[in-house]
Amino acid sequence: MDYRKTLNLPKTDFPMKANLPKLEPGIQGFWKDIDIYRLVSERQAGKPKYILHDGPPFSNGDIHLGHALNKILKDIVVKHKTMQGFDVPFVPGWDNHGLPTEMLAIKTFNLDRHQIPAMELRRKCAETASHFVDVQREQFLRLGVRGNWEHPYLTMDPTYEAVVLDIFAKMVEKGLVYRGLKPVHWCPSCETALAEAEIEYAPHTSPSIYVRFPLLSLPEGVFPEAEALPTSVMIWTTTPWTLPANVAVALHPQFEYVLVKAGEEQFILAKELLKQTAQDLNLKDAEIVASAPGTKLERGLCRHPFLEREVPLVLAEYVTLEQGTGCVHTAPGHGLEDFETGRKYDLPTVQPLDSRGIFGPEGGKFEGMFCSDADSKILEELRERKALLAAADVEHSYPHCWRCKGPVIFRATKQWFIAVGKLGKEALNAVEQTTWVPRWGEERLRSLTETRPDWCISRQRTWGIPIPTFYCEGCEAELLRADIVTHVRDLVAEHGSNVWFERDAAGLLPSGTTCEKCGCTEFAKEQDIFDVWFESGSSHAAVLETRKELCWPADLYLEGTDQYRGWFQMSLWNSLGGRDEKPYRTVLCHGFFLDETGGKMSKSLGNIISPEDICQRHGADLLRLWVSYVDFKSDMPMSENIFSQVEEGYRRLRNTLRFLLANLHDFDPAKDIVPLEKMEEIDRWILHRLSEVGGRVNSAYEGFEFHRVYYALHGFCAVDLSQIYLDSRKDCLYTFAADNPMRRSAQTALYHLAHALVRLAAPILSHTCEEAWEQLANKESLPESVQLAEWPNLSCWADEELGKKWDSLLEIREQVGRALEKAKTEGLIGQPLEAKVVLKPTPEEQELLKSLGEEGLAAFFVVSQVSIEENGAGGVQVARVKGEKCARCWLRLPSVGKNDAHPTLCHRCLEVIEKNLTD
């Protein structure tokens, strides 16, 4: 007889090798066919809402790993919260307007933005944005992300645009909006102002120069020794191109300044910086002649080093002793602090650059030169006039444009601003009342709100929502009124923001509008558009308040760490300005991808890994598992080597599920399930362990610590199940009669384990768990998809007393394991089934061990025989078992060979065979 055919061998259609790249598209097709988002929404209708508001990515290219990380994290939260019993509508969105999309359209269609009509450029931008919405939608779907993909929110949708103008009207009504001349970050390549959130800092090499500003006069009685020799105020700068705009030299009022003799001339500089400056300039004979505080030098006069311009000495608290000379070159046209100093002292604002960063007529002999290209010419001019003391190149962190990556400049221009300073107290209160994950996020945003200058919201581009303001043709007065903004808002709601570019001012203004200053009825319309961050920062109102399935405020904002300066902050200002409340309850941020060495990933370095490539080679579930494998709140290394570790973890989880499913092939839960109180103790123990692990997993999901979910599940599968429980139960599952109560008890545990593990892992391994769910659903009436399943209630299996008992048994099992390993090393046995374990328990251990019995202990230890000695002092002994190997169960037992009809079987297997023959 072929005894193998009498075994209960595992059977399942759930394959060992997942082949996820081939499997997942089919599962995604299934979700699409059943309209999973609609089914989930209908099932959860009426339950408490949980709103995760999607921060909109730009629709200007394929998604990258950062996009994938972000959407997968959101999907994990959405699916977990849904299974917990919340109604969690997820409306994905896209940021369609702005510089990124406009630049891509210009490049794609080879356009000249200075020549093409505005409407034609906007049509090309809209075409580009729409195309990449479709591209990215499919790419996000390929990751298994569930959402209302058929009806996303788009910032170029007229209903969205109208809400942006609603908020702007409220800010106008509150007096938060003004137009003013201020230095702002300016990208000469993109020819537009930039917000702080659009600035990236990167290494940049600049000239580092020390310059003489010849002294003309000082307040009476200050440094009379200065008249003895030619004297200069010494400044240091890394932006020589700003010297044509210099109108002052700033000193700190409290610093001590010294008059220093060096050779046949004298210099004025901060005493604390003399040593370093003398070293840089090789001033070996520098000698302090006199000293005075900065306050005494105020209103002194210098001469500009190469222009016919007197330069006053002024006082400013921002002057530092970190580097330079303590005497700061001041150009109000090229620096915000300089600008404020200029206003204090009524200094002229010289700004000689045009929008491309090229010197105009005010630049004198540098006219026609690009600002940084003029550095070398300015140095030549300084040398000719003997004003250059020293020059060297220095690499330092410098602001760059977020889109073109080129260095930016500070340039004083007239722009529109939101006076966020007026909202400062409300902002700090809002920050304090928000839950921040990680907790340091609170301090991060607090420091940003405390130090933030007014928000420059105007951009000198075409693709965006226009700022609905006008200028009187008669007196050039600004026309900014909330009622006019609301009038334009109504036009935009009906026609879209293109209406601004299609009509003249008269067609946009309410009839009868006149200038309040001069009575003129002719107006010109504003050419600037809104900062794209003002648009995306309006999403809390434009989406949460306009979609019937959503509600305000959001329970969660979840984005990368760069969004403290971006969307987190801009949404806060926007919400406070528009409705006096914060738009979110909790803010969660994630880090960025790094290569294996901790370096930055970039195209130029050739170390980019695309989500599409990962899905094609490994599958989306591997990427999703990787997202839960790392602590995403910090920057995360990514490489093929690290990914292989995730693959190993996936195989462990998959093979555990496969084992559970394969050993349920003949189990009908409707009639075979065993009540908890009648289950074998080891089976009740593993369910107790499952309840503990399930509690940890749920807490980890709740705390957004998905790496703890991974390690809890992986550890449970690898240790509790594979190494202990399943190994101990294989003999029972495979060799006992199919309907044996002990086997049904074990299968009942496997059934509960399978149902629980599939649910616990489903928010992360969405495709794999759907595949496993189908296997379970074949045997019973279950929801169509695991996404429609409820979160498992595992607390009913908790048994602390049983857990403590089995902790003690596991300690003994470890002792047995060490003894078996020693016996193998010594050649006493080849493998554990050749062993007989002799236990010599202490009196305290006797009762514990006897409760399982020798046969139960043998299965627990996975050996052939166990004997328990009375009155032992503790310890384990291993002997080679006596008896032949059973041909069916492979245990070595004395009963093998006792039956003539089946001489190779043990007594246990003989009972099964005889029962089968009888049945």
pLDDT of residue 605: 67
* Predicted pLDDT at 30: 98
Is the pLDDT assigned to residue 778 strictly greater than 90?
Answer: no
- 285 confidence band (pLDDT: 50, 70, 90): confident
Each residue of 660-709: pLDDT tens digit? 999 999 999 999 999 999 999 999 999 999 999 999 999 999 999 999 99
Q: Which pLDDT tens digit goes with each residue over 196-252?
A: 778 888 898 999 999 999 999 999 999 999 888 999 999 999 999 999 999 999 999
Place of tokens 């923001």: 497
Indicate if the pLDDT at residue 22 is higher than 80.
Answer: yes
Q: What average pLDDT does this structure show over 401-414?
A: 88
Q: Which residues pair with 260 in a beta bridge?
A: 267, 288
**Sheet with 470-472, side-by-side order of all strands:** 478-479, 470-472, 523-525
Q: What is the mean pLDDT of residues 290-296?
A: 96
Whether 644 has a pLDDT exceeding 90, the answer reads no
Tell me the average pLDDT across 146-166: 98
Question: Cα separations (Å) of 665 from 11, 182, 662, 741, 762?
Answer: 6, 75, 6, 16, 22
Mean pLDDT for the stretch of residues 757-761: 98
* Vertex 882 angle, CA 881 and 885, to 5°: 85
Per the CB < 8 A criterion, the answer to whether 540 and 583 are in contact is yes
User: What number is the average pLDDT over the span 416-439?
Assistant: 96
CATH superfamily placement of domain 201-408: Valyl/Leucyl/Isoleucyl-tRNA synthetase, editing domain (3.90.740.10)
Rounded to the nearest integer, the mean pLDDT of the chain is: 94
End-to-end Cα distance, the chain: 17
Sheet of 835-839: strand order equals: 865-868, 835-839, 876-880
Enumerate the domain spans of the chain.
Answer: 3-13+633-782, 39-152+538-590, 173-192+411-423+435-531, 201-408, 802-918
Residue 37 has pLDDT above 70, yes or no: yes
Angle at 162 between CA 161 and CA 165, to 5 degrees: 95
**Longest distance between any two alpha carbons in the chain, whole Å:** 127
Token pair of 672, please?
């075979």
pLDDT tens for 451-502 read 888 999 999 999 999 999 999 999 999 999 999 999 999 999 999 999 999 9
Taking the C-alpha atoms of residue 412 and residue 350, their distance in angstroms, rounded to an integer, is: 8
Residues 6+ apart with CB under 8 A from 126: 96, 156
- State how far Cα 331 lies from the chain centre: 38
Under the banding of pLDDT at 50, 70 and 90, the label for residue 918 is confident
pLDDT of res. 875: 86
CATH of domain 173-192+411-423+435-531: 3.40.50.620
| pLDDT for position 416 | 96
Pick the CATH number of 802-918 from 1.10.730.20, 3.40.50.2000, 1.10.4030.10, 1.10.3720.10: 1.10.730.20
Distance between CA atoms of 627 and 648, rounded to whole angstroms?
Answer: 15
Q: What is the pLDDT of residue 609?
A: 84
Q: Taking the CA atoms of 481, 485, 491 and 494 in sequence, report the sign of the dihedral they define.
A: negative
Residue count (the chain):
919
Please write the tens of the pLDDT for every residue from 723-736: 999 999 999 999 99
Which of the following CATH numbers is that of domain 39-152+538-590: 3.20.20.210, 3.40.50.620, 1.10.10.10, 3.30.70.120? Answer: 3.40.50.620
pLDDT at 603: 63
Q: What pLDDT does 696 receive?
A: 98
Condensed to tens digits (0 to 9), the pLDDT of residues 544-578 reads: 999 999 999 999 999 999 999 999 999 999 999 99
Q: Please tell us whether the domain made up of 3-13+633-782 is placed in CATH 1.10.730.20.
A: yes
Q: Do domains 3-13+633-782 and 39-152+538-590 have the same CATH topology?
A: no
DSSP state letters, 571-585: HHHHHHHHHSS-SEE
Pair type for strands 435-437 and 584-590:
parallel
Backbone torsions φ then ψ of 22, nearest 5 degrees:
-90, -35
pLDDT band at 308, cuts 50/70/90? very high
Percent of the chain with pLDDT over 90: 86
pLDDT digits (tens, 9 = 90+) for 807-836: 999 999 999 999 999 999 999 999 999 999
Nearest to 864 by CA among 887, 840, 893: 893
Nearest to 262 by CA among 280, 278, 279: 278
For residue range 267-276, what is the model confidence (pLDDT) as tens digits?
Answer: 999 999 999 9
Among 263, 321, 314, residue whose Cα is nearest residue 289: 263
Task: Please list the helix, strand and coil fractions of the chain in percent, rounded to the nearest 5, in that order.
Answer: 45, 20, 35
Q: Do 359 and 274 touch, CB atoms closer than 8 A?
A: no
